Amino acid sequence: MIPLRDVIPSRTFPFINISLIVLNAVAFLYELSIAGVNFEPFLRVFAMVPGDFVWPTVITSMFLHAGWLHFLGNMLYLWIFGDNVEDRLGHFRYLVFYFTCGIAAAIAHVYMNPNSMVPTLGASGAIAGVMGAYFVLYPQSRVLTLIPLFLFYMRVVEVPAVVFLGIWFLIQFLTGAATVGVESGGVAVWAHVTGFLTGVAWVIVFRKRHTEWA
């Protein structure tokens, strides 16, 4: 399932969410510019390596991506779900919330893969937190979704947000459960699970107390 957009317009301009997307884009374009002999040393410094863990890489790794599909997929999810979550939390709370989820996700990945020397990168842990927040805040929303039914046939349908996000989380959880005891290297499945659950829990603390969306 490929999300295209949700049905809820944001009531405020999501400048934090857009800024995060722009920063990710700038970092990714820089990665492309140094592709080749300089790329691996760059990753060793700025990507998170669980077996050689240093705290600053928890943040820097959140702005790096492994390729076009990784980058575009993450940014699509952030674009669709982030603006509404920022609207409900407020700009500063959303920024703190985003990094809180990303840090929790990174710690989970390190815990599950303590000896891995594979560089880990991507914003998906933080974005999973945003998705968890959306799951709580907008259960009545719907997501316009592209569903490939056959090789050359696709259909666009509106899927309830709780169903779309619930299926996404279930896939992550089952994938993680199937790999318990086996280090997953750079595939941060438990980071996705932890980010989502952190988003679900912390959105109650971070959201502004004002009129609910209806």
Mean pLDDT check: name the lowest of 41-45, 78-82, 178-182, 193-197.
Answer: 178-182
* C-alpha pair distances (Å), 61 with each of 4, 78, 178: 26, 16, 25
d(CA 121, CA 63): 8
Would you say residue 127 lies in a domain?
yes
Model pTM score: 0.92
Would you say residue 214 lies in a domain?
no
Instruction: Let me know: does 3 contact 80? Beta carbons within 8 Å.
Output: yes
Would you say residue 212 lies in a domain?
no
pLDDT bracket for residue 153 (50, 70, 90): confident
Mean pLDDT check: name the lowest of 121-135, 178-192, 196-210.
Answer: 178-192
Instruction: Let me know: does 136 contact 203? Beta carbons within 8 Å.
Output: yes
Total domain count for the chain? 1
Token pair for residue 155? Answer: 């259909």
The residues that bridge with 50 in the sheet, in sequence order, are none
Question: pLDDT at position 71, please?
Answer: 97
Question: pLDDT at position 207, please?
Answer: 73
Would you say residue 59 lies in a domain?
yes
d(CA 197, CA 160): 19
Would you say residue 195 lies in a domain?
yes
d(CA 147, CA 154): 6
Give 185 or 145, the one with higher predicted confidence: 145
Would you say residue 115 lies in a domain?
yes
Residues ≥6 apart with Cβ < 8 Å to 75: 21, 24, 25
Instruction: Let me know: does 64 contact 46? Beta carbons within 8 Å.
Output: yes
Token pair for residue 21? Answer: 């997307």
d(CA 176, CA 71): 22
Give SS3 for 5.
Answer: strand
Identity at 138, one-letter amino acid code? Y
Give pLDDT tens digits for 72-105.
Answer: 999 999 999 999 999 999 999 999 999 999 999 9
* Domain residue limits at 11: 2-206
pLDDT bracket for residue 214 (50, 70, 90): very low
Residues ≥6 apart with Cβ < 8 Å to 20: 78, 82, 98, 123
Give pLDDT tens digits for 56-71.
Answer: 999 999 999 999 999 9
The residues that bridge with 144 in the sheet, in sequence order, are 5, 158
> Where residue 155 sits, what CATH number does that domain have?
1.20.1540.10
Q: What is the mean pLDDT of residues 142-157?
A: 86
d(CA 87, CA 117): 38
* C-alpha pair distances (Å), 146 with each of 134, 139, 163, 165: 19, 20, 14, 14
d(CA 203, CA 130): 9
Would you say residue 42 lies in a domain?
yes
